[in-house]
Amino acid sequence: MKSWAVPKGPSLDPADKRLAMETEDHPLEYADFEGAIPEGNYGAGPVIIWDRGTFEPVGDVPISQQYRQGELKFILRGSKLRGSFVLVRLRRPHTTGKPWLLIKHRDSEAHSGWKIEHHDGSVVSGRSLCQVKEGLPASGTGEGSDPGRLVGARKAPMPQIVHPMLATLVDEPFTDPEWLFEIKWDGVRALAWLRRGSVQLCSRTGRVITHRYPELASLPKQVQADEAILDGEIVVLDDDGRSNFERLQARINITSPSSSLQRQAPVTYCLFDLIYCDGYDLRHTPLLSRKQLLRHILKPGLPFVYGDHQLEKGRELTAVARKKHLEGIIGKRMSSLYWETRSRDWVKFKLTRELEAAIGGYTAPRSSRRYFGALLLGLYEGESLRFIGGAGTGFDIGTQKAVYEELKRLRSADCPFDHAPRTREKAYWVKPKLAARVRYANWTQDGRLRAPVLILLPKDRKARDCQFSTETPVPVSTALTRRTR
């Protein structure tokens, strides 16, 4: 193996230019060795496998020629190190050894302010260098992967029902040393129950959706645990690695997708939390510990990815998300427990203007429309449904017909809104059972959506859950000062 020693360790921060001293070639057996090398031997001391994975040369120049030219470009796909890197040979006179610089390129895997001390431990056993030096054995999937050692872990049977923890919408991003920040994925929230080789996926409303995503059946092979409950988001990625909700729509309501559809809209499961693991309930374990354990037991590889995070720097991550045209970011208090409700210990900041509203009626069709003119939308304030506007665009004739068939079954003589809205065309009322996801320009001064466009009718959302308190942002200062569930 071609080998370099990196005294300060590698980094995912492009601002870190790490000295990498080229060493003699190492035997291939070193790739799998973990333990203590006795004194008097080459490389004496404790050794761990800090990361492992594959590399891919970049560019048309053969890797051997790149090496001779002193500039190696490659992509790493490991558990900790991911994305594009370069090794550049330093040509300095009077310098001993063979110094190079290891530099992370700016790509979707780059993390400003990334610290290696937050990613310690063997990727194989979870042990630290100190534990290897002291001869402490690995336990199960690793000393660092023993759920019983985590603060707040409770010995208990696997819960049959878990409600996902939800984030509070805030009006601006922030930076705070007590918080970590993740990219906000635009997909379908799903909890995964793993039981001795099998997996069951459930939506946020508890509906079993395993059969909708057959390519995720291999998840138990990627998780080093007999029993576990994981939390994540099912997405379809575009060519730039962004979640694309429009492409995912083709999969959402298909109970048995064909092989052709799976190829056209391949799903990825981004896993960002661990709720239960091998006999231990982790809902009262701090978030950062849950995520560290998840990283230990998960072997990432498509269609499964680990939902990584950035410590402290929410504003900086938002700037990256805005530049890459992402939906937004999620902020989570590092010490937060897993509350099965909406909490201000988790917050979300959206870069796109979207919300989910209850459908309270529709208007008669106009011009070339065949089924209806616009959907009449509202948000709940307590028990009252308040009208916020009508969405008259965003559906083709096929979608319009399908929506109309659902609306007909819900027709009602009573207006569900607290005040009946004025409409140009005749209005028809429906029982508010359906939710609609819409994109809009902004809010008007009289509390209406400007230019709402229908995106879809989410099957995993109840209309009663479409509340002003959850679909409109609270001041970020409120979220930071009130630690409520």
Task: Tell me if 460 sits within 8 A of 188, measured CB to CB.
Answer: yes
Q: Residue 181: CA atoms inside 13 Å, Cβ hemisphere, count?
A: 25
DSSP state of 285: S
The pairing of strands 99-104 and 154-155 is unpaired
Residues contacting 367, CB < 8 A, separation 6+: none
Please, what is the end-to-end C-alpha distance for the chain in angstroms?
51
Integer Cα distance of 251 and 83 in angstroms: 28
In order of 21, 30, 76, 351, the CA distances from 54 in angstroms are 21, 15, 6, 34
Helix, strand, or coil here: 289? helix
- Could you tell me which of 190, 163, 188, 183 has the C-alpha nearest to residue 437? 188
Integer Cα distance of 276 and 282 in angstroms: 5
| Residue whose tokens read 């959402």 | 252
- Could you tell me which of 84, 105, 93 has the C-alpha nearest to residue 17? 105
Helix, strand, or coil here: 423? coil
Measured from the Cβ of residue 289, the count of other Cβ atoms closer than 10 Å reads 19
CA geometry: angle 12, 14, 20, nearest 5 deg: 75
Catalytic pick among 80, 184, 291, 313:
184
Integer Cα distance of 483 and 485 in angstroms: 7
- Could you tell me which of 226, 233, 311 has the C-alpha nearest to residue 277? 226
Q: Is 368 exposed, middle or buried (0-12, 13-18, 19+ CB in 10 A)?
A: exposed
161: which strand partners?
none
87: which strand partners?
72, 102
For residue 299, indicate whether it is catalytic: no
Residues annotated as catalytic are: 184
